[in-house]
Structure 1
Amino acid sequence: MPETPAPLLSAADIRRIAAEIDLRPTKTLGQNYVIDPNTIRRIVAAADLSADDHVLEVGPGLGSLTLGLLDAAAAVTAVEIDPGPAARLPQTVEEFRPGSVDGFSVLTADAMAVSEQDLAEVRPSTTELSPTALVANLPYNVAVPVLLHLLAELPSLKQGLVMVQDEVADRLAAAPGSKTYGVPSAKAAWYSQVRKAGTIGMNVFWPAPKIHSGLVAFTRREPPVTSASRQEVFAVVDAAFAQRRKTLRAALAGWAGSAAGAEAALVAAGVDPKARGEVLGIEDFARIAQHRPDPHNQESTS
């Protein structure tokens, strides 16, 4: 006889806990809580976690997803910016998953400022690993910068699944040449292979957002081989898409010091100066960054 799955938070549980701590969800913090257990199970299944994983969860809110993650992984560290829900989370875990208390920790902090050291200081006692997977319902208004910050800050993250605004999910997973390809797509590709893993409707949230959500899965990979730093490559990406209707020769003129300098860098990188940024992959941007003209040489020859 199949084992009955452990209960997850129902809509009534979530509203009860919210009332206990006098929580009124705000748009400022992007607080939309999943109230449908089947959606939680779907997210956890799509995350493809192993029993050894240490999961980093950003924006756990009242703990809907947290409980599902504790069922699937060795440990969960939650990062929550709102002190009220953060303080209540351990009690929710104690109530619904008493056997998982030692595998859970919470850090009250802004995920945009979290460091590897911060997480090490609150690591659950059941693991010695830094977080190996990111699974989170990210606030819509900061989803991309939070994801890019965590990928940069935590090289231990090998995979992940994040829920974001559906349109943002399309952008993150977009391939070069598509209309939705842009800065988020290129920068995410520096760290990982990214794909869209599904769409989530509006009615599974409280309060219900006015737009659908999308699931984005990523698998860590090595960045392109280049002598340029990540910051130098990302500067090319930013410049290329700041004026995406322009050719790269024109769009990169400021970055290179002149249109002629941009053309020289592009030719040296094997990129057509008349192309636009939306057709380039992250490897192309990395090659261009290697050939940025030396401003001192430009000055001496001008």
Structure 2
Amino acid sequence: MSTDAVLYDHPGPRAKVRNLVLTVVFGVGALALLWWVYSRFDEKGQWAGDLWKPFTESSTWTDYILPGLQHTLEAAAVAMVLSLAFGVIFAVGRLSDHWWVRWPAGAIVEFFRAVPLLLLMFFIFFGVPFLTEQPMSIFWAVVIGLTLYNGSVLAEAFRAGVRSVPKGQSEAAYAIGMRKTQVMTHVLIPQAARAMLPVIVSQLVVLVKDTALGYIISFSELLQLGVNNLSANFGNVVQAAIVAAVIYILVNSALTAFAGWLSRRTRRKGRAPRSPGAAVQQVAIEPGLGGGGGGAL
């Protein structure tokens, strides 16, 4: 039987009818909930044209929404790169054979996973100046907070992905003389990244949304400019929040779509080898990947 086969019991006639009934019931329930929300908003006059009119004016977008979106995307992009690097480095550190590397890496990851991100941003922005005697950049306070928290979560994801790779992969790599660093970078981490891609994408989506927490230190992102400042001038906080929510949905949907395309592309390039050591043997023929000794990190 093919290893790609998925175990799944196809529903029978009764199960199909039950699934259809449940789908209809939940669909009707969802429509009823949406209608209730719409009618309640309508009673309070929240669909009045005057409250939505500012979004038809270009100045609203150029002065509030687009600058906020730009700052959100800039902070998210930098934090994504740094979080992925942080995650890989500390995942490797937690997998090290040396306790003096493994224990500090584990302590750092567990600490920053446990501290709320809002407090991280707050402490970095207001606490670092006491140490450096220099004002802290709001942008970098947000980025560093996002990096420490999300990088710690990604470190655990990468570690789980590395441990999920069959042991035969690393054993075959050691058998042909690869060092542990080479095994990690050329064999285990690429496969772990493909295996954990859904988890990684989910955390990056969380990262994008977490940029909104920068409001605690007055970071001028989408929530601060596109909701707080905008509604303060036009008195339409509900409408501004709805528009901001739609923008967040579009951004995260685009990120998820890109991740899906990347997953399909990497799956085509990295088909599962027929034999346990085939992938390692293919890597080993590249120049400079061989080498004696089984040194450990």
TM-score band w.r.t. shorter chain:
under 0.3
Pair member with larger Rg: 2
Greater percentage in helix: 2
Structure with the bigger percentage of strand: 1
When normalised by structure 1's length, the TM-score is 0.20
Which has the higher relative contact order, 1 or 2, with Cα contacts under 8 A spaced 6 or more apart? 2
Which TM-score applies when normalising by structure 2?
0.20
